[in-house]
Structure 1
Amino acid sequence: MDPNRRKAFEREALPHLDALYGMALRLTRNERDAEDLVQDSLVRAFRFYDRYEEGSNIKAWLFKILTNAFYNNVRKRKNLRRLESEAEVGGHYDRFISDASTLGRDAEKALMEKIAAEELSRAIEELPEEFRTAVLLCDVHDFSYRDIAEIIERPVGTVMSRLYRGRRLLQRKLYAYAVEQGYIKVPEAADGDDAGVGADAPASLDDYRKRRTTGRGGQR
């Protein structure tokens, strides 16, 4: 074994050990499995270190090896889960997610600051694996879309789609937690003319327009 090669590898790879372990722990959700995954990934990285282009993004290269190793292990155990279908988002969720919602960006930022780190971590861990990976790589480890595409070996468009769906699911989970903790007060239907609006609300703007047209016609 070439000692110079080992030193070069350690100099490049070891500074990213903590980040690799953090990613592995999020993926495996188990400390022992995370340690095994990091060790396996470093062994593979050293074995193929001659393929690494010096001066390029060593962190992205290491994360690609780790991510591939994780999914290979999952496939071997035949535990790769199907992507969950995204459930329809209710009216309250839409108000939370939309830029035009009653919360607004400043209120959403304030809300995120109130949410406990433990709950945020748990919400991320509950995401489907492929969404979780994209969110972790982008929002936790600050990889660019292009880097993530190289790491998971998927087109940039796929990365963006997974990020959008993963973040949307994450926001739903955090919204439910915020309501439960009292950070958000869900508006109740008022008495009088507005009573029952939620149950009888139009499903879309087109429905609303049709109903208004019908209403005007009935008044003539």
Structure 2
Amino acid sequence: MTTATVESDVDMAARFARDVDPLLDALSRRARRLAVNDADAEDLLQDTLLHAYRGFRSFERGSNLKAWLFRIQYHRWISTHRHRQRRPAEVAVERVGDRELAGEVARLSSGRPSPEDEVLESLSDNDVRAALANLPEGTRMVMYYAGVAGYTYAETAALLDVPIGTVMSRVSRGRQRLRVALAHLDRTGSALAEPAGRSA
């Protein structure tokens, strides 16, 4: 009967360092693309390496280590984003005036949906699907992930491998096109229509 040799913790740590070291630059570059700033990118890189080290015994030797590390990094980034989304927004008190504070409190306490949500509730799913299907593919995909599936702009950018600015501009154009395509179906009044003569 043969027994498999169990790798010691010291040997595993040495193998992890040896195998991962050549990939650190690629992991660091990708962390900077995913994160908002350098500090968040460094945190993401450290978090990725920590989780990779914890699971390194289960990594199958001979398979693609870079892809495995990138997958861990992406999942850690998504997890961090979702955690931050659940936290209340933090704003410096000096930057919030009485008017903004009162407006936000009134909006939150009323529990009423936004005008955009009211209009979407009045439309059938088929109408919305048809309008989405007529959007250009790039805009349609962004609108699906950011508008339907509930991903943040940053998550959508990562999923589609495009800059976050591209996601934001496509969402803006997509909303405008949907507004035009669905305006004739608006049963709530004029919430879909752009206000005429609006001044900046």
- Shared fold, TM over 0.5: no
Q: TM-score, normalised by structure 1?
A: 0.40
Q: TM-score, normalised by structure 2?
A: 0.44
